[in-house]
Amino acid sequence: MEDREFGFGMSEEQSSMKDTVAKLIKSMVTGNPAHDMDEDRKLSREIIDKIWELGATVSMVPEEYGGYGMEYSPIMNTIFLEELACGDMALAIAATLPSMFIFTILEMGTEEQKKKYLPLYCDAAYKTSTVAINEPRFKFDAVSLETKAQMKGGKYIINGKKCFVPLAKDSGHLLVAAEADGKMELFIIEGNNPGLKIGDREKNLGLYALESYPVILENCEVSADDRVGGEAGCNYGRFLQKTRIAMSAIGTGISRASFEYARDYAKERVQFGEPIASRQAIAFMIAEMAYEVDAMRLMTWKAASALEAGRDAKKESYLAKLYAGEMTMKITDYGVQILGGHGYIRENPVERYYRNGRGIAILEGLAIV
């Protein structure tokens, strides 16, 4: 049997995209800009526009729908999301939020839905759309929703409550997850639908810069044509797989940022005549952070590669997100510990990584690959 090395390297295209995003994030986000967005509780539209201009989403949409016609690649999207999240998680979610709408319609929508909606969001200019999955209840489960859609008079009537809906007030369309005929489905709802009520901005532990809202659907009428996939419906399980892989990639990015900052700090911080990185307790934490970041990335890539090969990634995506949720909390906590008292001060980013990273285990459907 011929000996062959199993490759984990990136292709030239993937490497080029990663470097481009990393340079943009370093020049426009890392440091004071990310801190200022968090403190001001407001994202920079200029930075979002710059990220959108990279064309990572639009490039994967066929030309007949307004895109560039490049091949759709979940692996490429995981690399993209990790780099963005390494700069700031709130920005990563906001800048790629239209992808939730675009990729879902592209893969699961009817031909009429693709022609109607995709050109709206494939412009050079960033336009906001969002997704409503999470529900404000104990033991929320994305595959057992209390939001219901019932067919009456040729239309769906949707009732339910959602929470953690990012940029809901500014979104032209929402993808809303609801149970219909015993199945989990997605519905396209216009932002100005009279049955859609958006509450006051939520106050959360993290993601200060990202506006999120509760959404109430009261007898919200939706055309049968706006059920994603039409009469056949959508593949909701695959949709969740794609969002879980995306959240894993974001968790990897946040964890990497915390690891790199803490590592560099430990090398520079001198106590008792030597850098604290030489202390065994600190060195062990840094080493553990390093290998857990790599483990998270490999699990995320494995799940994404299953999707890219056209296979079901239910197991891989669930395990990747579960692991990312646990390890992001652990790694970002280590980041705070290594900085000691400085880690508790808001001027250092590790406390922001810690607050934001808590959302990886809790939140569903805030990004997609």
Instruction: Write down the domain spans for the chain.
Output: 12-121, 130-232, 236-362
Secondary structure element (H or E) that encloses residue 208, with its range = none
Q: Is 346's pLDDT higher than 70?
A: yes
% of the chain exceeding 70 in pLDDT: 98
Binned at pLDDT 50, 70 and 90, residue 42 comes out as very high
One-letter amino acid for residue 305 of the chain: S
What does the block give as tokens for 342?
Answer: 């400085």
**Stretch 296-308: mean pLDDT:** 95
pLDDT at 7: 63
CATH 1.10.443.10 matches 236-362: no
pLDDT at 218: 97
Cβ 304 vs Cβ 336: under 8 Å? no
Q: Is 59's pLDDT higher than 80?
A: yes
Q: Which CATH number fits domain 130-232: 3.30.390.30, 2.40.110.10, 2.60.40.350, 3.20.20.370?
A: 2.40.110.10
Q: What is d(CA 97, CA 82) in angstroms, rounded to the nearest whole number?
A: 15
Q: Is 291's pLDDT higher than 50?
A: yes
Q: Is 10's pLDDT higher than 90?
A: no
Average pLDDT taken over every residue of the chain: 93
Q: What is d(CA 250, CA 85) in angstroms, rounded to the nearest whole number?
A: 5
Q: Which of 136-140, 182-186, 224-228, 341-345 has the lowest mean pLDDT?
A: 136-140
| CATH class of segment(s) 12-121 | mainly alpha
Partners of 198 in beta bridges: 215
309 exposure class (CB count in 10 Å sphere: 0-12, 13-18, 19+): exposed
- Give pTM, 2 decimals: 0.94
Binned at pLDDT 50, 70 and 90, residue 70 comes out as confident
Q: Is 138's pLDDT higher than 90?
A: no
One-letter amino acid for residue 307 of the chain: L
Q: Is 212's pLDDT higher than 60?
A: yes
pLDDT at 1: 38
Cβ 95 vs Cβ 58: under 8 Å? no
Q: Is 5's pLDDT higher than 60?
A: no
Q: What is d(CA 284, CA 266) in angstroms, rounded to the nearest whole number?
A: 12
Q: Is 6's pLDDT higher than 60?
A: no
Q: Which of 34-38, 110-114, 138-142, 144-148 has the lowest mean pLDDT?
A: 138-142
- The tens digit of pLDDT for each residue in 150-178 reads 999 889 999 999 999 999 999 999 999 99
Q: Is 3's pLDDT higher than 70?
A: no
Q: Which of 49-58, 164-173, 246-255 has the lowest mean pLDDT?
A: 49-58
Binned at pLDDT 50, 70 and 90, residue 285 comes out as very high
